[in-house]
Structure 1
Amino acid sequence: MTDPSNRMQDRLADMMEATRLTAAGRLQDATDLLQRGFAGTPPRSAADHGAPAPQPHTIDLVAERVETGPAAKPESKPAFQTESPSGSAAAEEARLAEKLRKVVETVTRGIAPVLGGLGKAGPGGATPSGLVGNLGTLVSGLAGGLGPSGLNQARAPLTEGGSFTEHSFSNAAGARDYKLFVPSDARADLPLVVMLHGCTQSPDDFAAGTGMNARAEAEGFLVAYPAQSGRANGQRCWNWFQPGDQGRDSGEAGIIAGLTRALIAEHRVDPTRVYIAGLSAGGAAAVNIARAYPDLYAAVGIHSGLAAGCARDVSTALTVMRLGPVAAADGPVSTVRVPTIVFHGESDGTVNPRNGDQALAQAGIDGLTPEAAEAVSPGGLPYTRTRYADADGRVAVEGWIVRGLGHAWSGGSPAGSYTDPRGPDATRAMLDFFRANPLAAGRA
């Protein structure tokens, strides 16, 4: 009998290759690969494609390293810029995307029982949790990357003015590459926003989807985009569920905090106006880091993420993402309230919206006065915005729940992945919240 673990390793390779093909716009090739691997149907011939059949691709889990050195590189030419499809080409892309979506749904149903079995301890107590986590992330990531009208193409951000350059940082906790946006008016005492991307994303992709660089140029602040390494996580997810990456002065939390301090010193950033935000795994990592370093970050933004410390391993992480909190979060302990803004889609099928509720509770809404308002975004999505004020009337916590929004950055640009332009503008809302919450004197 074939070893289920070996069989799933093969499936993992197929899914990773299908994800690469999808990101490259090769929807038909991705569909054929999944059908061949999971449904047993033969691939289309080269004649059917009108092009040579794809050759086997070597899966490389090592992220490409950026050039480092004392001099920053100038902004590079956008690597993912494509022309918008039109006419019959758009219809064909939509048809292929819908076909691929159905194949992914079939794959998800087919592997669910196997994933469940692999999640249990096997002989000797061993659990292939890394395999389960990577395959589960691939399935949800591949499905989520398909928009209603085809592939959600990622494009590098287009910003007039300022600079967007590649760098690398290392300290005792580890090393990561990052990109830094510096506005044209690069004077001293500007704010800094640290942005943590979601799984499978990159700094360029995340910057394009959130539109944060354009806001930084217009309003005068710096933006840092740390890049998760493929060595640390095969799908470039921040390891928010690993205890070693959640606490102070260790792992990914220690790397990001060290990078933040280095940028404050090098660019003479205003230390009372330093903020951190993220999407999905990046949102969960952001709140881990903010709660571990309440003396460094004035406020945190969590979009489609989870509360700090709500998971301590891959198995629990998948459960919490799917079902919501299973226990009280026991993340980094902070004796002070870190101002927090939470965005979550009510229709999020990747991270259960109950996780947004837990993040608000963890932020300390007990004892605050809530004020809720209902509205509809310009794109047509209804939402509820709840502001929680302290005794002095200062809004210390803010929650947005958007009906009809899935696992995507609300109000984001289709130039980036995992965005929904129809929703209220999460980028604008987070910046407004940050501006109103500088670092309190007692926390500095």
Structure 2
Amino acid sequence: MKMNDAFLASMREAMELLRTAGPLEATEAIQRALRTSSPWGSKEGSPAPAQVVEALLPADGSLFRNDVPLAKTPFASSLPGQARKAPSPSDVEARGHFSLKTFANHAGQRAYKLYVPSSYRNEPVPLIVMLHGCTQDADDFAAGTRMNALAELHGFLVLYPIQPTEANPSRCWNWFRPGDQQSGRGEPSLIAGITREVMASHNVDADRVYIAGLSAGGAMAAVMIHRYPALYAAAGIHSGLPQGCAHDLPSALAAMKGGKLKGASRVDAPASMAQPKRPVIVFHGDTDHTVHPSNGSRMIAPFEVGEALKRTERSSDGGGHAYTRQFVTAANGVDAEYWLIHGAPHAWAGGSSRGSFTDAKGPDASAEMVRFFLAHPQHR
């Protein structure tokens, strides 16, 4: 007996949710599909929900088990870099010092790793906060982005907050939950707290603190630059989503699919078109099938309101991928760059194959983010 098309479409959506929101949200999507439609197209003779789930998931239950490597799950082949072994810390330490620490506040506890370049002599230096994507950790993200190597070249610190499986079974930052979208609460308070702890323990130039992320990490970076403009001077968002685009699972899935937004988050309804507060550089592949490319243009839209200055350049020499690069200066003088990378998937552009979710073809997103960041200190 053949499953109907609508139900199969719901299952495909659930699988993609697993990548950016985690297995609990994917399971909820499956349960919702079971409640609203018959998988086999008719009520008569339809199997029980348990039989439907059994037909869709592997017999060993590996899809939602945390101890099974993602490369062994049914959809691993569609995830760039996931079949590779996660790097060891020694792979990414370079000549500097890469240490593991823990921070705690009223919202909970998070581990983080801090890279201090070999040139650091307690002089004021920039700090870049890097938020990993789902299924990643600090070592994986550092290896894939090669941000520590750039820290050696330019002399800045790199901070990697780590999302534990206790907070999200797939280690996704919970960017779509109202409790994790506000300053002083939830995950934003933890990320900001870790940032301030590093600023207190090292000689960080407070005018040159930046934040960046990939996918779910990019979506959380968008939250952070909106909620903490006094802390972060600029943000880099790769394959992410705009602040305030979702407030629960259905709205998150709609935003990921590129559907028309009916409004921003209930927490911050006008956020999506508010006057920009800080510079942003955005990267998105136009063949990203996990987070729709329209999310990249939506992040730049607030900069284009009113008498904005705009310039566009196109290049076929991106180290492999052609790209369209848009420069925008908002009416209030805040800059943005948007790199639409042609033929690129849901992966960090110009990244190393030693990390997951990377695309070795350029442009080099890490180098371009660093260039953009260092050109945009905060002016107090």
Question: What's the TM-score, normalizing by structure 1?
Answer: 0.68
Match of 1:323 among 258, 277, 280: 258
Is the CA contact (8 Å cut-off) linking 1:166 and 1:180 kept in structure 2?
yes
Bigger relative contact order, structure 1 or 2 (CA pairs below 8 A, ≥6 apart): 2
Aligned to 1:408: 347
Match of 1:360 among 277, 291, 300: 300
| Superposition deviation, residue 368 in structure 1 | 1.9
| Superposition deviation, residue 317 in structure 1 | 0.7
Alignment of 1:88-167 (within 5 A): 104=74, 139=75, 142-146=76-80, 151-156=83-88, 157-167=91-101
Is the CA contact (8 Å cut-off) linking 1:145 and 1:152 kept in structure 2?
no
Match of 2:237 among 298, 302, 327: 302
In structure 2, relative to structure 1, the CA distance for the partners of 1:6 and 1:255 (3 Å cut) is: farther
**Per the alignment, in what secondary structure is the counterpart of residue 206 of structure 2?**
coil
Which structure 2 residue ranges, 5 or more long, are not aligned?
A: 1-45
Q: Distance in 1 between matches of 2:287 and 2:225?
A: 27
Q: Which amino acid aligns with 1:225?
A: Y
Match of 1:425 among 359, 364, 380: 364
Quick one: percent identity of the two aligned structures? 45
More displaced 10-residue stretch of structure 1: 351-360 or 8-17: 8-17
Structure number, greater radius of gyration: 1
| Superposition deviation, residue 436 in structure 1 | 1.1
Aligned to 2:378: 439
| Superposition deviation, residue 361 in structure 1 | 1.2
Is the CA contact (8 Å cut-off) linking 1:339 and 1:397 kept in structure 2?
yes
Q: Distance in 2 between matches of 1:379 and 1:300?
A: 23
**Per the alignment, in what secondary structure is the counterpart of residue 291 of structure 1?**
helix
Q: Distance in 2 between matches of 1:145 and 1:366?
A: 39
Question: What's the TM-score, normalizing by structure 2?
Answer: 0.79
Which structure 1 residue ranges, 5 or more long, are not aligned?
A: 24-29, 35-103, 105-138
In structure 2, relative to structure 1, the CA distance for the partners of 1:440 and 1:146 (3 Å cut) is: closer
In structure 2, relative to structure 1, the CA distance for the partners of 1:421 and 1:324 (3 Å cut) is: farther
Deviations 1:243-287 (A, max 9, x none): 000011000011101111111111121100000000000000011
Query: Is 2:11 aligned against 1:11?
Result: no
Aligned to 1:112: none
Is the CA contact (8 Å cut-off) linking 2:278 and 2:334 kept in structure 1?
no
**Number of paired residues?**
324
Q: Distance in 1 between matches of 2:306 and 2:359?
A: 31
Query: Is 2:192 aligned against 1:257?
Result: yes
Alignment of 1:160-239 (within 5 A): 160-186=94-120, 187-239=122-174
| Superposition deviation, residue 20 in structure 1 | 2.7
Q: Distance in 2 between matches of 1:153 and 1:376?
A: 32
Is the CA contact (8 Å cut-off) linking 1:347 and 1:407 kept in structure 2?
yes
In structure 2, relative to structure 1, the CA distance for the partners of 1:390 and 1:145 (3 Å cut) is: closer
In structure 2, relative to structure 1, the CA distance for the partners of 1:18 and 1:161 (3 Å cut) is: closer
Q: Which amino acid aligns with 1:415?
A: R
Alignment of 1:326-337 (within 5 A): 326-330=261-265, 332=268, 333=271, 337=277
Match of 1:383 among 323, 339, 343: 323
More displaced 10-residue stretch of structure 1: 204-213 or 330-339: 330-339
| Superposition deviation, residue 218 in structure 1 | 1.5
**Per the alignment, in what secondary structure is the counterpart of residue 167 of structure 1?**
strand
**Per the alignment, in what secondary structure is the counterpart of residue 284 of structure 1?**
helix
| Superposition deviation, residue 184 in structure 1 | 1.2
CA RMSD of superposed structures (Å): 2.5
| Superposition deviation, residue 160 in structure 1 | 2.7
Is the CA contact (8 Å cut-off) linking 1:368 and 1:388 kept in structure 2?
yes
Is the CA contact (8 Å cut-off) linking 2:66 and 2:170 kept in structure 1?
no
Alignment of 1:263-302 (within 5 A): 263-302=198-237
